[in-house]
């Protein structure tokens, strides 16, 4: 079973083929170990990563990262008792970290939100209301617009206690 893409880990293994320094596993043995693990687990790891991310490219990157981390772990002399479990655990944690970081990019704080959209209003109705408001605003002078905005705020604060109870009354 071979994958149509060649992971970055092979380039690292090739660069360190002749080097046998450091306290880790000798590179010839390490190369064979990583190659055997890759042949045995890469396809299933990729499938698992794609299931979590729903993105093939992100899955490929994650699998390469996991084998790179395994190579580094073994290179520095650390032993891995159960390589299959280690690979899956590191892949799972790596993917969760990446997805959390991606979700944080799109998160909007409550302070940054200009308005809270009404869930009952669909997008077309919202667009129509926005266009109507823009047309009205374009026909008013700045002073008239300020007066209208102030009047609508006062009207809204008077109506709220009816909807939310008298505890909110000014």
Per CATH, the number for 8-105 is 1.10.1740
pLDDT (average), residues 14-42: 71
What are the boundaries of each domain within the chain?
8-105, 125-168
Task: Specify the pTM.
Answer: 0.51
CA 34 to chain centre: 29
Confidence of residue 22 (pLDDT cuts 50, 70, 90): very low
pLDDT higher than 70, residue 139: yes
What is the spatial distance between Cα 140 and Cα 136, in angstroms, rounded to a whole number?
A: 7
Q: Pick the residue with more confidence: 38 or 143?
A: 38
């Amino acid at each position: 079973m071979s994958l149509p893409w060649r992971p970055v880990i092979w380039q690292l293994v090739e660069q360190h083929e002749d080097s046998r320094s450091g306290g880790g596993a000798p590179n010839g043995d390490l190369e064979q170990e990583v190659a055997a693990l890759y042949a045995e687990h890469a396809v299933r790891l990729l499938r698992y990563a794609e299931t979590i991310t729903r993105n093939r490219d992100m899955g490929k990157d994650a699998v390469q990262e996991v084998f790179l981390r395994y190579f580094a772990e073994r290179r520095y002399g650390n032993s891995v008792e159960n390589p299959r479990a280690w690979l899956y655990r590191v892949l799972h944690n790596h993917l969760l970290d990446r997805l959390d970081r991606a979700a944080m990019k799109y998160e909007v704080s409550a302070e940054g939100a200009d308005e809270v959209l009404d869930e009952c209003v669909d997008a077309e109705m919202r667009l129509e209301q926005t266009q109507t408001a823009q047309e009205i605003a374009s026909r008013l002078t700045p002073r008239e617009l300020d007066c209208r905005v102030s009047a609508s705020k006062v009207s809204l604060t008077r109506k709220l206690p009816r909807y939310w109870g008298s505890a909110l009354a000014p």
